[in-house]
Amino acid sequence: MRIYKVGGAVRDRLLGKPVTDIDWVVVGATTEEMLAKGFRPVGADFPVFLHPKSGEEYALARTERKSGRGYGGFTFHASPEVTLEEDLIRRDLTINAMAEDDQQNLTDPYHGQRDLEARLLRHVSPAFAEDPLRVLRVARFAARYATLGFTVAPETLALMRQLSESGELEALTPERSWKEISRALLEDQPQVFVEVLRACGALKVLMPEVDALFGVPQPPAHHPEIDTGVHTLSVLQQAALHKQPLTVRWACLLHDLGKGLTPEDEWPRHIAHEFKGLKLIKAVNERFKVPRDCQELALLVGEYHTHGHRALELKPSTLLELLQSFDIYRRPQRFEEFIAACEMDARGRKGLEERSYPQADYLRGAATAARSVAVQPLLEKGFKGPELGEEIKRERLKALKAYKEATSV
Ligand code: ATP
Ligand code: MG
CA of 384 to the centre of ligand 2 (A): 57
| Contact present, 399 and 369 (Cβ < 8 Å) | yes
CA of 307 to the centre of ligand 1 (A): 42
Which residue's CA lies nearest to atom 7 of ligand 1?
8
Which residue's CA lies nearest to atom 1 of ligand 1?
8
Q: Is 131 in the pocket of ligand 1 (CB under 6 A)?
A: yes
Pocket probe mutation, ligand 1, options 96, 121, 168, 169, max atoms within 8 Å of Cβ: 96
Pocket probe mutation, ligand 1, options 63, 92, 122, 179, max atoms within 8 Å of Cβ: 92
Per-residue pLDDT, 378: 92
Cα dihedral value 142, 145, 149, 151, nearest 10? -20
> Per-residue pLDDT averaged across 351-366, rounded?
96
Where along the chain do its domains lie? 1-110, 119-206, 372-408
Backbone angles phi, psi at 366, to 5 degrees: -65, -40
The percent of residues above 70 in pLDDT, for the chain, comes to: 98
Please tell me the CATH superfamily of domain 1-110, with its number. Beta Polymerase, domain 2 (3.30.460.10)
pLDDT digits (tens, 9 = 90+) for 122-145: 999 999 999 999 999 999 999 999
| Contact present, 318 and 307 (Cβ < 8 Å) | yes
**Reported confidence tier of residue 259, pLDDT bands at 50, 70, 90:** very high
For 281-317, give one letter per residue: b (16+ CB within 10 A) or e. Answer: bbebbeebebeebbbbbbbbbbbbbebbbebeebebe
DSSP character at residue 39: P
**Reported confidence tier of residue 69, pLDDT bands at 50, 70, 90:** low
Q: What is the mean pLDDT of the chain?
A: 95
Per-residue pLDDT, 76: 82
Backbone angles phi, psi at 59, to 5 degrees: -110, 140
CATH of domain 119-206: 1.10.110.30
pLDDT digits (tens, 9 = 90+) for 376-393: 999 999 999 999 999 999
pLDDT at 70 over 60: no
Q: How far apart are CA 318 and CA 321, in angstroms?
A: 5
Q: Do domains 1-110 and 119-206 have the same CATH topology?
A: no
